Structure 1
């Protein structure tokens, strides 16, 4: 996974939309209750990170994994470990669906575990064509025809469909199409597209996607989240600096640092905070 720390507000919107709309498009039809925690820590083993988990009204967790490669038995053992730890932690049953892209059309779905067979449910997205989705939606856009919920669901899945261009360009084109329709569903579609970008892209490519969403409500949410984290970091630095100055008996420097931003930044560098 490219990034494990998601921007909370965006991801929550994306997860909700994925759960309530896109899963049904994929044939995964359950009545859901809430988003499950995706980070598991089993101290005696190691940290595990699951993509999405959703709790159904029947008390079963649906675990969704995105795969661009076929790791065969190695992947199945990893999914099995996820389920075992998650089931132990929540005391509930877990069913795993693996959404494959990257040209994968057939995979091994069962693992012989001795006395029993472990099984996942594979879903192959790449049999659908992103180009065809884009073509139809561009016709609608040019005719000022609003997109349907199904249109947005399919648009949100285009980064996982087959296409000759790189994934970054597919996400970018999907975002631009979603932006052309001004509705709350378009914002939700952009949220899941951003969540997929956050999973598959990093560095300059992810920055380019951030630029695409910068002038939207999603972009404002990203900005607000960044400012919030910046304020939190600033508060933590201020507390650390105050403690170090007091420990060093530099009370006058502390008084000056409260009023003088440049001096405060010099002290932060001095103490390597």
Structure 2
């Protein structure tokens, strides 16, 4: 990737990751042959013990069964990559001390790969997903129709949209990445739009050709995407702070209230609610404050933080 202002992922990984968590949370990847528990969150991948050609692992997901999914994107196959992935997994295990499953998603030009390698007493195994088995041209046409008709996208539709640039296609992956971003920008649900854009940015940054970077920047309006994503991250952080406080004060009894907190997306109201909850003494009073906040949001027509494109 090019450095400077076009270096998307490395300068903005914290923001992108928080929005990817919202995009992938509770989703499973079974339809790609990746059989795991639902995703809970995307972990940071700044593992200090890794120094492999100045590279870092692509994505690390915490799963609902308290294990990890290590996801890599590759447009070529090289047996040496497995050496690197093994080092990533060892470093991640040193940090988290939990089982790790590694899946490598290969672009459409890759036909054969190696999924297991022996290091003597150490046997390392990954799972490969070959995107050449997916018809990107047919899938993008189906997505265009759904989005233009303002149909609700399923979880599968959203994940197909994210992985479109890696699928078998009549155009190269850089052109398809740009088409994918253009398509995502047509989604009317602004919160879903920014979640998908953030994820498409993060994934495409792994394989897009350098000559298309500036063109992609123009299509993305990157500063606006990051600003929207950052605002959404602040909302998520405020929601999590309130839910954590409720959990600490009330334990399992707070679960219904925590579910209501997810419905409050006004940052100003969230900040004031947290202050009010600190002063509340009884569970009933906390529940009433949350209901009042929800009513205030409804009364103001629940303004979204995302601006029109």
The TM-score, its normalising length taken from structure 2, stands at 0.63
| Farther-moved stretch of structure 1 (206-215 vs 118-127) | 206-215
Aligned counterpart for 2:20 among listed residues 11, 14, 25? 14
Aligned counterpart for 1:38 among listed residues 35, 41, 45? 45
| 1:25/1:110 CA distance change after superposition, 3 Å | same
Q: Does 1:64 align with 2:40?
A: no
Q: Which runs of 4+ in 1 moved over 6 A?
A: 43-46
Counterparts of 1:140-219 in structure 2, within 5 Å, are 140-183=146-189, 184-201=191-208, 205-214=212-221, 218=225
Match of 1:5 in 2: 10
User: Residues 75-134 of structure 1, C-alpha deviation per residue, up to 9 Å, x if partnerless?
Assistant: 111111111122123222222111111421321111111124211111112210111011
Match of 2:120 in 1: 114
Is the 1:111–1:118 Cα contact (8 Å) retained in structure 2?
yes
| Farther-moved stretch of structure 1 (56-65 vs 122-131) | 56-65
How far, CA to CA, are the matches of 2:53 and 2:220 in structure 1?
Answer: 35
Is the 2:23–2:196 Cα contact (8 Å) retained in structure 1?
yes
SS at match of 1:111: strand
> What is the aligned residue count?
224
| Farther-moved stretch of structure 1 (176-185 vs 16-25) | 16-25
Is the 2:50–2:91 Cα contact (8 Å) retained in structure 1?
no
Counterparts of 1:206-245 in structure 2, within 5 Å, are 206-214=213-221, 218=225, 220-221=227-228
How far residue 211 of structure 1 moved from its aligned partner, in angstroms, is 2.0
User: Residues 219-272 of structure 1, C-alpha deviation per residue, up to 9 Å, x if partnerless?
Assistant: 643798xxxxxxxxxxxxxxxxxxxxxxxxxxxxxxxxxxxxxxxxxxxxxxxx
Q: Does 1:94 align with 2:123?
A: no
| 1:6/1:119 CA distance change after superposition, 3 Å | same
Match of 2:84 in 1: 78
| 1:218/1:110 CA distance change after superposition, 3 Å | same
How far residue 146 of structure 1 moved from its aligned partner, in angstroms, is 4.0
RMSD of the TM alignment (CA)?
Answer: 3.1
How far, CA to CA, are the matches of 1:68 and 1:10 in structure 2?
Answer: 22
Q: Does 1:123 align with 2:134?
A: no
How far, CA to CA, are the matches of 2:205 and 2:21 in structure 1?
Answer: 13
Is the 2:135–2:168 Cα contact (8 Å) retained in structure 1?
yes
Q: Note the residue ranges of structure 2 that are not aligned, 5 or more in a row.
A: 232-309
How far, CA to CA, are the matches of 2:44 and 2:218 in structure 1?
Answer: 29
How far residue 22 of structure 1 moved from its aligned partner, in angstroms, is 6.5
Is the 2:17–2:43 Cα contact (8 Å) retained in structure 1?
no
How far, CA to CA, are the matches of 1:44 and 1:99 in structure 2?
Answer: 22
SS at match of 1:41: coil
